[in-house]
Structure 1
Amino acid sequence: MLGLPQPDSCETSEGVPFLRLEDDATDVTLFLTAIYDSRLFERPPAKTSYEAVAGILRLSTKYDVQYLRQRAILHLDTLFPLTLEEFATRNELRTIPPHKDLVFDASLLAREVDVLWILPQVLYIISNHPVGRILDGFLWNDSVKEMAEVDRNACIHALKAINTTIPNSLMGCFAVGAIDDCQSPTRCPADRCDWGSLLWKALSQTSCEVCLNSIRSEYEAMREEFWKNLPEVFGMPELNTLKAMRDAALSTPVA
């Protein structure tokens, strides 16, 4: 940061020049606070906020502060994990509380800071919103923002595939996990799980054990297959490639 070019004439304090950053003031405050005392921005399972994660991730990427970038990535991973098992239980694991339109802003953040492996999960959640929400933009910090055109189009094009595949995978609507615009984030995910459990219970009362086990196996296999193909649905690289991208980002040496 100290190597950033500065004007020939600039303000000084006791002969020391001020370092001027052309960054958002809130982001700078969060970033410098985390550098000054990294205990204020610990790895998961420590709790944090989306504002802190986004601000620190932006500037740690820009100024190549890898240990903070990696911590921010790990927090984002609790919201948008790569594995189906973790995604289904993300409401229990998340370190960032729900926030209206968070997922829409996350779609922009993912491209801005090159964490593309979260995009299939992000866009899948967005695709569960009404089409109008996807097309009309969203309000974030008192400003109207829009998704990247490529991601907005990907969501619209993916709707048919999602709406035909998920119903066929048996109770797919109960597997979405926490929805960031949910009005009752502590109750609704549990209620959906309860409904799913009730449907399985009904099947167990009307089907023999052999048939029930077969249905369960087919259901899990279809869910896994859908998850495996989810990146392709949104025009992203295959799942193994995304995992490799994530592993590379988290294995970058920390100075």
Structure 2
Amino acid sequence: MDVSEDAMTPALSSPKRHETLWLADGNVVLATKTYLFRVHKSVLAMRSSVFRDMFGLPSAHDEGSGAQEVVGIVPELCDGIPMVTLEDEGRDVEHLLKTIYESRYYNSHDEHHTVDKVCALLKLSSKYNFQGILVDVIEHLSRIFPTRLEEYEGIFEGHPFRYDFEGNCHASNHLLASAIQAGVDDLFPALYYACANEPFSVLRRIVSDTPAGWAALERLVEGQYKLKDAGPRIMSTFVELTERCVYDHNLGFRPFVEKQSWHSDYCYQFFTIDLGELTGSTITQSLHERVCADCLDGIKETIEQERVRIWKELPQYFGLGNWGSVRAKLRARIEDRA
């Protein structure tokens, strides 16, 4: 963020006044490459310590009264009003300001948000220390990418594409990139998990070319490597137990070749590493004619135990500690709304 010293000269690419966020009584203009926003210093300063310091305004705990002039910067003027030039994308700033000025624009308990909106709020609320908005987004993401397997399964059942944010099937990639930029990616092992099935070329595009980005890429690759045997491990358990029932109980006395014919039909179920799909019920749903009822229940239970074990170890796969420490950090961030 900076304030230009030279007056802005008209150009073909000059930013235009935003249709709704050019407020007649605003006393500061935020300029981006695409939009000009005329807003209020006091409104921004009330919710952001960064803007409060920039404008030289006292906090609620400071002594003194009234607004002061911008300190430490040479204000550029737009229609006689101080103007601050931001490096951020105009659309991202629009999302942030609409969240501040329009009470219904972002409800963290509403599922229907674009990924662009959530990413913009995550990045800018962190950058400018809009702590209340940042906590709202963290809470929002903690419900979409939860810390408990049963909650993860519940999300998957209702939204098999993990909240695709109005059609964006790559939402997880964008969200992780923004979480890394905001420095809160360590709160969401399940978000890392959602991105871990991507090829390296995609993973490389997710992260920024920064120390934080490279650390996140290392986590992704390490987690991806450790997850490679998760699906096959469940599959091997499945094969072992079903074969044991077939041979021990001699169901149907069918020829050996016929008994083996199911393999090609079942392998497709293990092409995913998503524990929302690799459930005992899903994997065994067509086994009723192959194994006995007693063995079928045991197979389901054993697969569920393996799934629980994988989920329990998931944060460790990405170098994020354990679920207990993740939940503790989440609670601390959510409680820190001030």
**Given the two structures, how large is their TM-score scaled by the length of structure 2?**
0.59
C-alpha change, 1:28 and 1:199, in structure 2 (3 Å) is: closer
User: Does 2:131 align with 1:87?
Assistant: no
Q: Name 1:150's counterpart in structure 2.
A: 215
In structure 2, what is the Cα distance between the partners aligned to 1:224 and 1:198? 15
Native 8 Å contact 1:231 1:238 kept in 2:
yes
**Gapped regions of structure 2 (runs ≥ 5):** 1-50, 55-70, 236-268
User: Does 2:88 align with 1:23?
Assistant: yes
Q: Name 1:73's counterpart in structure 2.
A: 138
Q: Name 2:196's counterpart in structure 1.
A: 127
**Gapped regions of structure 1 (runs ≥ 5):** 139-143, 179-191
In structure 2, what is the Cα distance between the partners aligned to 1:198 and 1:46? 26
Query: Higher helix proportion, which one?
Result: 1
User: Does 2:300 align with 1:235?
Assistant: no
Instruction: Choose which of 90, 97, 104 in structure 2 pairs with 1:39.
Output: 104
Shift of 1:40: 0.8
Q: Name 1:10's counterpart in structure 2.
A: 76
Larger relative contact order (Cα-Cα within 8 Å, sequence gap ≥ 6): 1
In structure 2, what is the Cα distance between the partners aligned to 1:59 and 1:160? 33
- Aligned CA-pair RMSD: 3.2
In structure 1, what is the Cα distance between the partners aligned to 2:197 and 2:221? 11
In structure 2, what is the Cα distance between the partners aligned to 1:169 and 1:72? 34
In structure 1, what is the Cα distance between the partners aligned to 2:270 and 2:144? 19
Q: Which has the larger radius of gyration?
A: 2
SS in 2 for 1:150: helix
Equivalences for 1:208-247 in 2 at 5 Å?
A: 208-247=292-331
Native 8 Å contact 2:187 2:330 kept in 1:
no
Shift of 1:3: 2.8
Aligned amino acid, residue 85 of structure 1: E
In structure 1, what is the Cα distance between the partners aligned to 2:78 and 2:224? 56
Q: Name 2:259's counterpart in structure 1.
A: none
Q: Name 1:167's counterpart in structure 2.
A: 232
For this pair of structures, how many residues does the alignment match? 233
Q: Name 2:337's counterpart in structure 1.
A: 253
C-alpha change, 1:32 and 1:106, in structure 2 (3 Å) is: same
In structure 1, what is the Cα distance between the partners aligned to 2:90 and 2:192? 29
In structure 2, what is the Cα distance between the partners aligned to 1:127 and 1:95? 17
CA deviations on 1:94-153 (whole Å, 9 max, x unpaired) are: 372342543333332222213234542233233212344335x36xxxxx9669222323
